[in-house]
Amino acid sequence: MRIKPNAGLIQRLQRHLDKDTPMTKSIFIDTGVLVSSKTFLKEYEGSISKDCEAVLTYIGDNFIQSLKTGEWMASINGKRTKSKDVKAIEEKVWKSYKSKLQ
């Protein structure tokens, strides 16, 4: 969870809610914000790997870490998953998030 709210992200989500449409993968991905590991540790509540260089953050306290190895990593339902393909990890994070909405 971000300590200081992101006003731009809140506005995007409010516009989505005003349309009264279901959450889609494209809307979820649109909420992604890339921050440095230093910024993440300062502005968000959560722990990251010591090998993390940057973090993609999403709504619902979801995030994907960019590691020094060139891999991307996320913790989904308590299990770490890694891939060199960020889209593959993003898909898994989206599916996990979507399952919690239902």
> What are the 10-residue block averages of pLDDT along the chain, 102 residues in total?
59 63 84 92 88 93 96 95 97 94 76
Burial letters 58-72, b for 16+ CB under 10 A, else e: bbbebbbbbbeeeeb
At 98 the pLDDT is 92
13 in a domain, yes or no? yes
Q: Domain range for residue 35?
A: 7-101
In a domain, 83, yes or no: yes
Q: Is residue 29, in this structure, part of any structural domain at all? A: yes
pLDDT of residue 101: 82
| pLDDT at residue 6, rounded to an integer | 62
Sequence-separated (6 or more) residues with CB below 8 Å from residue 67 = 49, 51, 52, 53, 73, 82
Q: Is residue 96 part of a domain?
A: yes
Can you give the pLDDT at residue 73? Answer: 98
The total number of structural domains that make up the chain: 1
Q: Decide if 67 contacts 81 (C-beta within 8 A).
A: no
pTM: 0.82
Question: 45 in a domain, yes or no?
Answer: yes
Q: Quick one: pLDDT at residue 26?
A: 87
28 domain residue, yes or no:
yes
Is residue 1 in a domain?
no
Residue 24 has a pLDDT of: 87
Residue 14 inside a domain? The answer is yes
Q: Which long-range contacts (CB under 8 A, 24 or more apart) does 70-74 make?
A: 73/49
72 with 83: CB under 8 angstroms? yes
pLDDT of residue 4: 60
